[in-house]
């Protein structure tokens, strides 16, 4: 008998860094009232949606380990950010992974990890969960560590150097 199980088709993704890419980076940004979209961020998410890419956020949130804010506050910020994006363009963020650790954390349990970018682990974990074709995917971030993480995962790493995010992303979307 033939095996009836069909493989789940792989889909490309855009992996977005958060601070400095989707929202203005004010330094450990975590207060909802400080949440300001980068120009073109909502349009970029919508463009990725429309082009058939999953939209996945991978963000280092070492402020949690440093005690600047809690995981719940970070998630509340994320909910607000996704609501702003949706309100502006109807763009949808499909999922989020964050690294709550930091090398300078006082708590040894929060000091060391294998997920903080430039590690590709958050990207690889999301890719496995969402059946992502990494070779057809993009990681866009405003730091070299974002590009390194993307390339280590087998994606195209794109450095966002400012301006409109949708214009920066557009040349890389098929
Ligand atoms: Mg950033």
**CB within 8 Å of 149: residues ≥ 6 apart:** 58, 117, 118, 119, 120, 122, 123, 139, 141, 157
147 lies in some domain: no
- Of all residues in the chain, what percent are helix, strand and coil, respectively (each to 5)? 40, 15, 45
Q: Give the mean pLDDT of 6-11.
A: 88
Residue 1 has pLDDT above 80, yes or no: no
Number of domains in the chain: 1
119 lies in some domain: yes
153 lies in some domain: no
For 48-73, the pLDDT digits (tens) are: 999 999 999 999 999 999 999 999 99
13 lies in some domain: no
Between the CA of 57 and the centroid of ligand 1 the distance, in Å, is 11
Residues facing 15 on adjacent strands = 56, 139
Told to judge if 146 belongs to the known catalytic residues of this protein, a careful annotator would answer: no
3 lies in some domain: no
Between the CA of 136 and the centroid of ligand 1 the distance, in Å, is 22
145 lies in some domain: no
Residue 7 has pLDDT above 90, yes or no: no
Between the CA of 62 and the centroid of ligand 1 the distance, in Å, is 12
Q: List Cα–Cα distances, 70 to 42, 92, 100, 162, 173, in angstroms.
A: 26, 24, 9, 28, 35
Q: Choosing from 17, 94, 142, 166, which is the catalytic residue?
A: 17
pLDDT (0 to 100) of residue 67: 96
pLDDT (0 to 100) of residue 6: 82
- ∠ CA 160-41-158, nearest 5°, is 25
- ∠ CA 64-65-69, nearest 5°, is 25
167 lies in some domain: no
- Count CB atoms within 10 A of the CB of residue 147: 22
Residue 4 has pLDDT above 80, yes or no: no
User: Measured between alpha carbons, how far is 24 from 110 in angstroms, rounded to an integer?
Assistant: 26
SS3 77: helix
How far is CA 73 from its chain centroid?
Answer: 17
Q: Residue 36: which CATH number?
A: 3.40.50.1000
62 lies in some domain: yes
Domain assignment of residue 114, given as a range: 24-130
Told to judge if 17 belongs to the known catalytic residues of this protein, a careful annotator would answer: yes
For 115-137, the pLDDT digits (tens) are: 999 999 999 999 999 999 999 99
CB 44 within 8 A of CB 165: yes
Q: Give the mean pLDDT of 141-167.
A: 98
The pTM for the full model equals: 0.95
């Amino acid at each position: 008998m033939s095996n009836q199980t069909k493989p789940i088709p792989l889909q490309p993704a855009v992996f977005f860094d958060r601070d400095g890419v989707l929202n203005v980076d004010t330094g450990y940004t975590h207060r909802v009232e400080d949440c300001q979209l980068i120009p073109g961020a909502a349009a970029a998410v919508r463009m990725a949606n429309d082009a058939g890419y999953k939209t996945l956020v991978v963000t280092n949130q070492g402020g949690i380990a440093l005690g600047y804010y809690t995981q719940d506050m970070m998630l509340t910020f994320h909910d607000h950010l996704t609501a702003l994006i949706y309100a502006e363009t109807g763009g949808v963020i499909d999922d989020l992974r964050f690294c709550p650790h930091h090398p300078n954390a006082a708590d040894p349990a929060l000091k060391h990890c294998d997920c903080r970018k430039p590690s590709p682990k958050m990207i690889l974990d999301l890719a496995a969960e969402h059946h992502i074709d990494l070779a057809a995917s993009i990681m866009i971030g405003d730091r070299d560590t974002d590009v390194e993480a993307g390339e280590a995962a087998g994606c195209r790493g794109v450095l966002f150097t400012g301006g409109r995010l949708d214009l920066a992303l557009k040349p890389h979307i098929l």
